[in-house]
Amino acid sequence: MDRSRMEWSRGKIIGEGSYAKIYLATPKTPNSEFPPLMAVKSATPINTRMLENEKRILTDLKGCPEIIQCYGDDITASKGNTFYNVFLEFAPDGDLLDLAVKKPIGETDVRRYTRSILRGLQYIHKKGYIHCDIKPQNILIFPTQDGKTDVKIADFGAAKRVGSGKSIKNFFGTIVYMSPESLVEKEHKPSCDIWALGCVVVEMVTRRNAWKLDTITKLASSEELPEIPSELSVHGKDFLEKCWQRDCSKRWTAEML
């Protein structure tokens, strides 16, 4: 994006993360390159590097329907402060956590959302990335033309690039969605995203975390697995068993699922 090509107005704040705040943004003049309403993620200079990394990753992943779209970036100044801004697709229906809090999600919808997340993860992994923070708050809800809703993966702030077959060792993500190898060995592979997806599925069905924080140590120190909801169909239970293989080499991939 040519940073001088769009004049825009900052609206109300709609979210805040560890390194950036998210606002509504509207172009000041109609522009076919940009939608009439966007989300803009803004960071101060101390956090700019993380947001620039997220923008680079989103640009590399551009074109996947199951991943939130990035429209470009710019730099602004206000009240003596400089901000790096990244323009993103706005999700009018919020995120998966918002939806689960409002009402139980039926298994038909759970399956549709899960298929979309899997397609997004398959694309992410084939491009050589690990999202590292798959959770309901990072799965955004969008209306579809048939009057239903579908989801897209967002927030690549913790995402990392790895070579084929390689893993990375560090501490990323949200603890209740972390796989055993992430917790114990601080090892991140694409299979970690699959474990997290299993946790997201449980949360969609039960409206509760698969693990409680006070029991997360059991995951790291024993062979215990999260409880599979009894209300799931046989197909749903089988899916979770494939996501929650403790041995990450036996865990199914996004493509296999």
Catalytic residue positions?
Answer: 133
* Residues forming a β-bridge with 114: none
Query: Could you give the angle at the alpha carbon of 215 between the alpha carbons of 211 and 217, nearest 5°?
Result: 110
Residue with tokens 């996501």: 243
Q: Give which of 190, 196, 231 is closest to 210, Cα–Cα.
A: 196
Q: Report helix, strand and coil shares of the chain as percent, to nearest 5.
A: 35, 25, 40
Other beta carbons within 10 Å of 78: 9
Tokens of 73: 């970036």
Residues 31, 19: Cα–Cα separation, whole Å:
29
Residue 41 assigned to a binding site = yes
Collapsing DSSP states into helix, strand and coil, what is residue 158?
coil
Main-chain dihedrals φ then ψ at residue 129, nearest 5 degrees: -115, 160
Quote the tokens at residue 221: 């120190």
Annotated binding-site residue numbers for ATP: 41
